[in-house]
Every structure is written in C-alpha cells, then in structure tokens.
Amino acid sequence: MSHYRPLTREQLAQRIANDLPDGSYVNLGIGMPTRLARCLPQDRDIILHSENGILGMGPGGDEIVDPDLINASKEPITLIPGASICDHVVSFTMMRGGHIDITVLGAYQVSADGDLANWDTGTPDAIPAVGGAMDLAVGAREVWVMMEHTSKKREPKIVPRCTLPLTGERVVDRIYSDLARIDVTPQGLLVRAMVPGLDADTLQALTAAPLRFDEPLAVLSA
C-alpha cells in the first residue's frame, strides 16, 4: 500500500497552467478547467478564448463587471489589454479550424485511444446538452483533459473503451488527473508523471486501460 496524496483541484489547475507555453491560445472548458484562469503564470502571454466570442479573457470574479462580459459557463469575466470580441461564426472558426492551440476539458471517461466522453452522463432522464464540446474536441490542436482519476463511486474513468456517449473519437492528447499526467500515444497510454509516493501498481489498479510508464517518471505537483 503506497502512501500518497492526490492533488487538490487548485493544485491540479496550477500544474496544468504551468505547462501552458508562452504565446499560446487556450480554451478552457466549463467546470473544473475554468479554475486555470486564476492561476496563469504571470511571466507569459497566455491568451484565453471563450466560445461566446471572447479572445483575451481575464480572470472572473463573483461580481458582474458588465452583463455582456461572461464566459462559456455564463459567469462574469473581465478582459485583458489586447482582448478582442467576435461573433459566433468567427469564434467557432477559431475552435474548429485548428486555431486554438490547446483546450483543457473536463471528462467523464477517456479511452486508451483518446476517445472522449464529456457531454452526457447517460442517465435516462438527462436533457441532451452538448454546447461547444464536440466542436472543440475535433478542432483544437491539442486536447488536454483535466479530471479526477476515478469517479465519485471510485470507478476508473480511464477505460479501454468509453461506455458513455462519445464527444469525439481519438481526440485526447493528454490527461491530467489528480494522481498522474498521462499522454495518449500511438502505442497506448504513457504515464509521464505521478504524485509523490504513488507506485505504478496502485495507479494501474485505479485505471481500467493498460498503462506504460515513462523512465524516468516525473513528479506531478503544483
């Protein structure tokens, strides 16, 4: 039994934010990924896109700055110097046409091939609601998933094949969970980093798809 501590959501957001390159255009999905907006490294220009036509989004707060300044989650946001506004045609051209460098999305399941399920929990009475998730999944140059390693019921979310409705096929490039960073490669899932104290057998036991481990393995920390 290994002794390890999963990253908190704040720590995970900080870690992913630290991995965003200078000068990159980034779209943050609704839910957990919106936390990244508050912890971007100050020494880099990272330009955040929001699907409702905003490029150059600043951190949000609880206070409404302007009713016409909201993010994809409909929360109030600010603009940074250099921001621009466009309509939905242009905004989704950015998303679908490979102009967004990286999108960070939440997920219910990711498969060994990088299939993504993040829009429908499959519950019978759920109202189908996809938003811009499918456009982003196929259109961003890189798709990073940010999620807890297992579900609330402790079931693996990284699986051989998704059982929930798909958002996109073979779209995920890397997974950041609260336990590990895992890349989707043509040879399968490759663990690049793990939280301190976690061992390979324990991580594999929490993951339904087979894992390979990079050597040397990096430490996943904020």
Partner 1 sequence: MLDKTIASLAEAVQDVPDGATLLVGGFGASGIPTELLCALLDQGARELTVVNNNGGNGPIGLSQLFLAGRVRKLICSFARSANPAQPSAAAFAEVYRAGKIELECVPQGIMVERMRAAAAGLGPFFSPVGYGSQLAAGKETRVIDGRGYVLEQPLPGDYALVKAFEADRWGNLTYRYAGRNFGPVMCMAARTAVVQVDRIVPLGSMPPEQVMTPGIFVKRVVQVARGDRA
Nearer to partner 1, 14 or 27 (CB): 27
Binding residue (CB under 8 A) for partner 1 from 28, 135, 149, 220: 135
Neighbour order of strands in the sheet with 116-117: 116-117, 109-111, 158-159
Contact between residue 6 and residue 195 where contact means Cβ atoms under 8 Å apart? yes
Nearer to partner 1, 80 or 134 (CB): 134
Measured in residues, the chain has a length of 222
Choose among 145, 150, 152, 189: nearest CA to 167: 145
How many residues belong to the site for partner 1 (CB under 8 A)?
Answer: 40
Asked if 188 touches partner 1 (CB under 8 A), the answer is no
Least Cβ distance, residue 92 to partner 1 (angstroms): 3
Phi then psi dihedrals of residue 218, to 5 deg = -85, 170
Tokens 């980034």 locate to 26
Active site residue 51: yes
Least Cβ distance, residue 168 to partner 1 (angstroms): 7
Asked if 43 touches partner 1 (CB under 8 A), the answer is no
Choose among 143, 167, 151, 158: nearest CA to 208: 158
Asked if 25 touches partner 1 (CB under 8 A), the answer is no
Nearer to partner 1, 33 or 198 (CB): 33
At 184 the three-state DSSP class reads strand
User: What gap in Å lies between CA 149 and CA 54, rounded to an integer?
Assistant: 31
Q: Which of residues 53-112 bind partner 1 (CB under 8 A)?
A: 53-54, 66-70, 73-74, 85-89, 92, 95-96
Residues that bind partner 1 (CB under 8 A): 30, 50-54, 66-70, 73-74, 85-89, 92, 95-96, 120, 125-135, 138-139, 165-169
Q: Which residues are catalytic?
A: 51
